[in-house]
């Protein structure tokens, strides 16, 4: 590192600059997925936009590989890098709700629990994922799929504007009116275009929801999955339910006789009145003989944090994913075969519905290019013990290989590991060329490349 540049950074910076050898270095370089073990040369823990500007300038002038860390949840570890600079936003966690305008302004280091908590006090929420510890920044920039997708669309469908620091150090706002090309690109295109320093979201009237799981013994999977594929594409939009294979954790909230049982299930989150939601979900919940059917009124932030305790930071994770337009009988057979072989208690497979309100926006309207898919599928091998790394990875890869031929061809970028350019292109499909043109305008030298990378058009 050039000493002059480093001195300039130190003079301009209010946050913490952490280097190898500093006492907090090993904690600061850790991300959510313990399989990722990267050693940056410098971590710039920003406290404000001025810090972000100084860090971008330093990274560029020092020609350092530069990663941006929001919540640090990215599966492939794209919030950190080896031998480079990490612009760490984890200290920037302010949330401001405007109840009159029904909007929320969110700082870039927030996790979704911060937003859920602040907005719930006003009886509102914005669509997010399914775990409260996930970072707002990365989840939003990739699209944002979760409990409210069928009712209120993807997270990006509720994004009104972003403030950003670009690769040249300049500060811009992107919205439908200002820099609309950039606003189009950040809605699905990830961290390719600059550092987002603030998000403005529309809030929706979501307070208490009708939620919880229905679990069935594995023997009933084929019947349940076939009923689910018909049910969820035509269910009312206020009904959301993702399909899962899982092992029931040995936790007091579950009956002891079900502990450690592998099951298939649907995790519900419905925004209509409880009686209406009960009636709407009944046809699927009445299929076969559920082992557990535990659905009722729950405050939305509780649903959002239901899985937090099972999935604390520091586990080993290996992910593979694809979008699906349909679940053919052959695909269901593959699910039955591989889903029943969950290799560890934490491993799981989720199929998130991406229809309903998310289908009202078209593929070319935002960078997220799979509006015509009905599900985002993700297979995750998870375990606390690094010794089981091989086991969870090979199960996940085998499952993915078996299912990929039935997929729509590409994956949700936020569910991918580092899988190469072909997979990135398959994920952006017809939107890739437009993204490459916008990349050329805002980041021609590919300064922001620790992401599912879009190469600037030539």
Ligand X SMILES: Cc1cc2nc3c(=O)[nH]c(=O)nc-3n(C[C@H](O)[C@H](O)[C@H](O)COP(=O)(O)OP(=O)(O)OC[C@H]3O[C@@H](n4cnc5c(N)ncnc54)[C@H](O)[C@@H]3O)c2cc1C
Q: By the criterion CB under 6 A, which residues form the site for ligand X?
A: 31-32, 68-75, 78-79, 89, 108, 129-131, 134-135, 137-139, 141-142, 144-146, 190-191, 195-196, 311, 414, 450-451
Minimum distance, C-beta of residue 197 to ligand X, in the bound complex (Å): 7
Question: Measured from the CB atom, is 89 or 218 closer to ligand X?
Answer: 89
Cβ–Cβ < 8 Å for 194, 448: yes
Minimum distance, C-beta of residue 223 to ligand X, in the bound complex (Å): 26
Minimum distance, C-beta of residue 286 to ligand X, in the bound complex (Å): 27
Q: Are strands 159-165 and 103-106 parallel, antiparallel or unpaired?
A: unpaired
Minimum distance, C-beta of residue 358 to ligand X, in the bound complex (Å): 11
Instruction: Give just the sign of the alpha carbon dihedral 242, 244, 232, 186.
Output: positive
Minimum distance, C-beta of residue 32 to ligand X, in the bound complex (Å): 5
Minimum distance, C-beta of residue 297 to ligand X, in the bound complex (Å): 22
Residue nearest to ligand X according to CB distances in the complex: 138
Both structure tokens of 382: 């998870």
Minimum distance, C-beta of residue 217 to ligand X, in the bound complex (Å): 26
Minimum distance, C-beta of residue 159 to ligand X, in the bound complex (Å): 13
Question: Measured from the CB atom, is 55 or 287 closer to ligand X?
Answer: 55
Strands in 42-45's sheet, in edge-to-edge order, are 16-18, 42-45, 85-88, 66-69
- Which residues are CB-contacts of 182 (< 8 A; sequence separation ≥ 6)? 164, 172, 174, 193, 194, 438, 442
Question: Measured from the CB atom, is 220 or 355 closer to ligand X?
Answer: 355
Question: Measured from the CB atom, is 53 or 78 closer to ligand X?
Answer: 78
CA atoms of 338 and 318, how far apart (whole Å): 15
R_g of the chain computed on alpha carbons: 21
CA atoms of 213 and 23, how far apart (whole Å): 43
Question: Measured from the CB atom, is 89 or 332 closer to ligand X?
Answer: 89
Q: Give bridge partners of residue 267 from the DSSP assignment.
A: 213, 242
Minimum distance, C-beta of residue 419 to ligand X, in the bound complex (Å): 14
Question: Measured from the CB atom, is 244 or 291 closer to ligand X?
Answer: 244
Torsion region of 454: left, alpha or beta (phi above 0 gives left; psi -120 to 50 gives alpha): beta
Question: Measured from the CB atom, is 169 or 217 closer to ligand X?
Answer: 169
Question: Measured from the CB atom, is 126 or 220 closer to ligand X?
Answer: 126
Minimum distance, C-beta of residue 177 to ligand X, in the bound complex (Å): 21
Cβ–Cβ < 8 Å for 71, 134: yes
Q: Are strands 195-202 and 103-106 parallel, antiparallel or unpaired?
A: antiparallel
Question: Measured from the CB atom, is 124 or 174 closer to ligand X?
Answer: 174
Question: Measured from the CB atom, is 135 or 153 closer to ligand X?
Answer: 135
């Amino acid at each position: 590192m050039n000493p002059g540049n480093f001195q300039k950074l130190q003079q301009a910076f209010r946050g913490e600059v952490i280097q190898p050898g500093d006492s907090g270095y090993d904690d600061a370089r850790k991300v959510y997925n313990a399989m990722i073990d990267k050693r940056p040369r410098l971590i710039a823990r920003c406290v404000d936009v001025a810090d972000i500007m100084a860090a971008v300038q330093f990274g560029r002038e020092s020609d350092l590989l530069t990663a941006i860390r929001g919540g640090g949840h990215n599966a492939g570890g794209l919030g950190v890098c080896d031998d480079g600079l990490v612009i760490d936003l984890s200290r920037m966690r302010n949330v401001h709700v405007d109840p009159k305008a029904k909007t929320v302004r969110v700082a870039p280091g927030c996790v979704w629990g911060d937003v859920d908590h602040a907005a719930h006090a006003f009886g509102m929420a914005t669509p997010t994922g399914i775990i409260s510890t996930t970072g707002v920044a990365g989840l939003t920039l990739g699209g944002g799929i979760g409990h409210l997708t069928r009712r209120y669309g993807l997270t990006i469908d509720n994004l009104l504007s972003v403030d950003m620091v670009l690769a040249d150090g300049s500060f811009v706002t992107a919205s439908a009116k200002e820099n609309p090309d950039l606003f189009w690109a950040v809605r699905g295109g990830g961290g390719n275009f600059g550092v987002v320093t603030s998000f403005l979201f529309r809030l929706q009237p979501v307070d208490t929801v009708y939620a919880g799981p229905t679990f069935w013994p594995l023997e009933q999977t084929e019947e349940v999955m076939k009923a689910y594929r018909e049910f969820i594409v035509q269910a009312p939009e206020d009904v959301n339910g993702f399909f899962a294979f899982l092992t029931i954790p040995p936790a007091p909230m579950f009956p002891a006789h079900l502990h450690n049982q592998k099951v298939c299930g649907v995790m519900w989150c419905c925004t209509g009145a409880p009686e209406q939601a009960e009636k709407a979900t009944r046809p699927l919940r009445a299929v076969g003989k559920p082992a557990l059917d535990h659905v009722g009124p729950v405050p939305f932030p509780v649903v959002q944090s239901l899985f937090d305790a099972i999935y604390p930071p520091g586990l080993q994770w290996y992910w593979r994913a694809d979008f699906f337009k349909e679940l053919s009988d052959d695909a269901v057979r593959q699910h039955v075969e591989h889903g029943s072989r969950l290799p560890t208690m934490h491993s799981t497979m989720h199929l998130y519905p991406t229809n309903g309100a998310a289908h009202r926006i078209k593929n070319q309207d935002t960078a997220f290019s799979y509006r015509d898919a009905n599900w985002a599928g993700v297979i995750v091998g998870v375990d606390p013990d690094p010794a089981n790394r091989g086991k969870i990875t090979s199960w996940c890869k085998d499952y993915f290989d078996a299912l990929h031929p039935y997929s729509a061809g590409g994956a949700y970028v936020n569910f991918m590991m580092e899988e190469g350019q072909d997979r990135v292109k398959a994920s952006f499909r017809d939107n890739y060329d437009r993204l490459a043109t916008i990349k050329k305008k805002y980041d021609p030298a590919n300064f922001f490349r620790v992401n599912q990378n879009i190469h600037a058009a030539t």
